[in-house]
Structure 1
């Protein structure tokens, strides 16, 4: 039987699919009451379950964030906010030279500024509960692959903001944890390759010559890897544990690729790390078919 935590709330953003949805259901199974952030009524209907209460939450919309804070303040059971899991995100990959600036800004609005806005609004609740903030970063927040510049940039920034925040709120009793997933089988990961190829089709002939093969090989490599990547449910079990354990570490990796890549990125010189990532890219593609 699951342990009851009927006096605890947990917020999970980006909970309509993938890691977020799986984490919301995992926490509910453990007895928590999950406020699951979704963006549409249709997503809310799909997310609703025992212990999972959908809330309309686009983290780039201030009114949605304030509404979430009011829902917590007005909780009929006067339950405390045990944890905030900042999981919402988007991934649009293209070479630095090619990706339009509005798509750079869009990714930073969702993957960084939106999370900061939620943190700013909910920190008073987390201080009262001595709760935990879990920021879902990425192996890309430590090692940036080709064409992942914008997405990785948002995750590098989230890592830095998390470090500062952790040091700022430690004395207030609030824990800040970064989770760094590698390859996880999710809709976002699966669709990001299609988006990259669509953007590549709209490139100029010169950019096609410079980057076309790189984009195609990177998309193919990632698609091949995702077939054997970590299931979202296994990632969710780890995140749920991290969010609710009494003394979490400051960082956790998810998946063997992240466990391998993250320490190497911190230890190896840049040029050597470039070669390691290039070799890993080729091995993911498998033997040539030409």
Structure 2
């Protein structure tokens, strides 16, 4: 059996939050982690024993190609144990209000960027019979008001992950989806103020239609985040999923995901509409 120190793991979005905590957790277990960051400052912050920062904006083709070259050209010829696709953005507003440019940004980062990384690293994963761990969201199935762009991009990512799993299983590559609920991260902390900032720029008609809905949804999410799991606890679970011998196809992460996902699958859609709209 290959020892952890003889294997590579790639994590995108590793500068803060779940990505950074997972990088540190896996490095503490002996793996050599290639931690995707978007600036030298972020790289200096995450750099450590068995953590090697790599410049990785997953929407930039040059970065993705350089990552693939780093993996295939590893000086110690270490195999690629896993790729954890964690990078993401979340900017929330009603479907009618959110600018199309921000819709496209969600899909560029939360879907197309991950597909680019997967395409670039599949040859290495084929050689190692490695694993892809895609970090999704409970919102891919149970969508709160104003979360349309974020949830839509995550739902598309999950559908692509299902197709990928069925395409590569015969090649020895495992594909795992992690449906995350609320986690205390800088991205989550920033989502409420950004939603209110967008709301403040709405015209009078949109303010009358959506103002109360936005403010109540932001208040609910902000209150919930105080009770959400920490990034470190989420990282412990993701590290276990990444390294366990026989992973499941899907995992939920956090108590809210464990409750909401079964409810969404069991309750009539109109009843779930009323639950989530409140």
User: Fold match, TM over 0.5?
Assistant: yes
Matched, 1:252 2:251: yes
Contact 1:182 1:257 in 2 (8 A): yes
Q: What is the CA-CA distance between 1:275 and the residue it aligns to? A: 2.4
Alignment length, in residue pairs?
A: 277
Contact 1:131 1:175 in 2 (8 A): yes
CA separation in 2, counterparts of 1:237 and 1:188? 19
Structure 1 stretches of at least 4 aligned residues deviating more than 4 Å after TM superposition? none
Task: Find the counterpart in structure 2 of residue 72 from structure 1.
Answer: 71
TM-score w.r.t. length of structure 2: 0.98
CA separation in 1, counterparts of 2:224 and 2:198? 22
CA deviations on 1:237-261 (whole Å, 9 max, x unpaired) are 1001111111100000011100011
Contact 1:126 1:132 in 2 (8 A): yes
Task: Find the counterpart in structure 2 of residue 109 from structure 1.
Answer: 108
Q: What is the CA-CA distance between 1:264 and the residue it aligns to? A: 1.6
Contact 2:37 2:56 in 1 (8 A): yes
TM-score w.r.t. length of structure 1: 0.94
What aligned pairs does 1:15-30 form with structure 2 within 5 A after superposition? 15-30=14-29
Task: Find the counterpart in structure 1 of residue 183 from structure 2.
Answer: 184
Contact 2:11 2:86 in 1 (8 A): yes
Task: Find the counterpart in structure 2 of residue 87 from structure 1.
Answer: 86
Contact 1:28 1:34 in 2 (8 A): yes
CA separation in 2, counterparts of 1:106 and 1:248? 31
CA deviations on 1:90-140 (whole Å, 9 max, x unpaired) are 000000000000000001000000000000000010111111100000001
CA deviations on 1:66-90 (whole Å, 9 max, x unpaired) are 0001001111110000000000000
Q: What is the CA-CA distance between 1:277 and the residue it aligns to? A: 2.2
Task: Find the counterpart in structure 1 of residue 167 from structure 2.
Answer: 168
Task: Find the counterpart in structure 2 of residue 200 from structure 1.
Answer: 199
CA separation in 1, counterparts of 2:275 and 2:28? 40
CA separation in 2, counterparts of 1:188 and 1:250? 26
Contact 1:4 1:30 in 2 (8 A): no
Q: What is the CA-CA distance between 1:276 and the residue it aligns to? A: 2.6
Q: How big is the alpha-carbon RMSD for the aligned residues of Structure 1 and Structure 2?
A: 1.0
Task: Find the counterpart in structure 2 of residue 220 from structure 1.
Answer: 219
Task: Find the counterpart in structure 2 of residue 130 from structure 1.
Answer: 129
Q: What are the ranges of 5 or more consecutive residues in structure 2 without an aligned counterpart?
A: none
Q: What is the CA-CA distance between 1:268 and the residue it aligns to? A: 1.9
